[in-house]
Every structure is written in C-alpha cells, then in structure tokens.
C-alpha cells in the first residue's frame, strides 16, 4: 500500500494505491450488505473506517479530486446506485476535497468482475471500458475510489484512461482488498 515503486511505475498506471483493510470478517459482511442487501447507510461506516485509517497514517490528499469508479449501466440500474459514488461523496465531504462523478464513465458493457476467475479474464473484460475527456482531467491529481480491489484490473484500466488523457497523478483508494 502506498506510492508505486519507481521501477514498477508504468506511464499510464496508478501512482499509488491505498487499501484500508483486508476483505475479511467483519468488513466483508459490511461491504456485502452495503452492495447486495441495499443497506446504503453503511456508506458512513465504510467512510469512517477509511478516514480513521488515513488520519492515523498521516495521509492527506489535498490538491486531489475524488473520482468514483463508474459501474456498468446495467449493474447500476439493477442495484439502484453505484457504491463507489456513495462512498466518494461522503469521503469528499469528510476530507474537504472536491468530488466529481462526471469525469470518468464506462463506454462498454462489462461482466461482473466477481464472476471472473483469472487476472487475464478480468483485464480483458475491462480493456477500453472507460473514457473521459482530456479537458476534464489534464494536469489534475485524481483519487479513484472503489469499495474493493481484487486483482486491480478495474483501477488499472480506469487509471490508464485518465493518464492517457493527461491526468498528472492518479491514486487508487479502496476500503478493502482481497488477500
């Protein structure tokens, strides 16, 4: 967790990644209920955990804007909301940094990542799935928000598009990560 090592850094990759905790009890249940049992009030719990972690580590994202990872339109319609947007709006308020959910969008229908087993399947599923306009990101420092990272395919592909269009810095922040 943290800044990407200079040798590992790719021109269109994440500049850093922070995952607050592992996806294990009890956080896995909280996230599951948040996403699949429509308990949207749990966004506050997830943000509180995230903010507490960031403060305890002295991590500050001043000068950044929060960008939620967009969901596939069918998935968002089924769920009724995008969990990254819900987390992102509250997190932006708590961190006192700008929030923008109109910068990055999906341009391709994708399968549910959790249903895909291999890194290759996940990367192929999300290849060229995101788009943004150059004017919306050029020179900006962006903090991509999502609830869980498994293989990193979603954040990597979103960051790739943002960096290709000129974002100065792109970090990923998730509440949890699979071990």
Let me know if residue 64 belongs to a domain: yes
- Could you tell me what percent of the chain has a pLDDT over 90? 77
Let me know if residue 1 belongs to a domain: no
pLDDT in tens, 25-70: 999 999 999 999 999 999 999 999 999 999 999 999 999 999 999 9
CATH (domain of 169): 3.40.50.2020
CA distances to 126, 127, 158, 174 from 107, in Å: 10, 11, 11, 22
Q: pTM for the complete prediction?
A: 0.91
Let me know if residue 116 belongs to a domain: yes
- Could you tell me what percent of the chain has a pLDDT over 70? 94
Let me know if residue 93 belongs to a domain: yes
The residue with greater pLDDT, 122 or 167, is 167
Let me know if residue 4 belongs to a domain: no
Cα of 58 vs its chain's centroid, Å = 20
Quote the number of domains for the chain.
1
Let me know if residue 75 belongs to a domain: yes
- Nearest alpha-carbon partner for 150 in 125, 118, 128: 118
Let me know if residue 5 belongs to a domain: no
Residues spanned by the domain of 135: 13-177
What's the rounded Cα separation, in Å, for the pair 41 and 142? Answer: 26
Let me know if residue 7 belongs to a domain: no
Tell me what pLDDT residue 7 has: 45
């Amino acid at each position: 967790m943290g800044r990407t090592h200079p040798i590992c850094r790719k021109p269109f990759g994440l500049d850093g990644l922070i995952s607050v905790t592992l996806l294990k009890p009890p956080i896995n249940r909280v996230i599951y209920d948040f996403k699949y049992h429509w308990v949207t009030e749990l966004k506050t719990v997830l943000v509180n955990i995230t903010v507490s972690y960031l403060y305890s580590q002295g991590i500050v994202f001043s000068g950044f804007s929060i960008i939620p990872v967009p969901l596939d339109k069918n998935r968002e319609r089924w769920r009724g909301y995008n969990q990254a947007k819900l987390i992102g709006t509250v997190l932006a308020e708590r961190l006192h940094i700008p929030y923008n959910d109109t910068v990055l969008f999906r341009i391709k229908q994708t399968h549910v990542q959790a249903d895909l087993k291999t890194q290759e399947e996940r990367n192929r599923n999300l290849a060229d799935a995101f788009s943004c306009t150059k004017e919306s990101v050029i020179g900006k420092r962006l903090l991509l928000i999502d609830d869980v990272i498994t293989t990193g395919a979603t954040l990597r592909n979103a960051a790739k598009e943002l960096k290709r269009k000129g974002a100065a810095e792109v970090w990923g922040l998730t509440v949890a990560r699979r071990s």
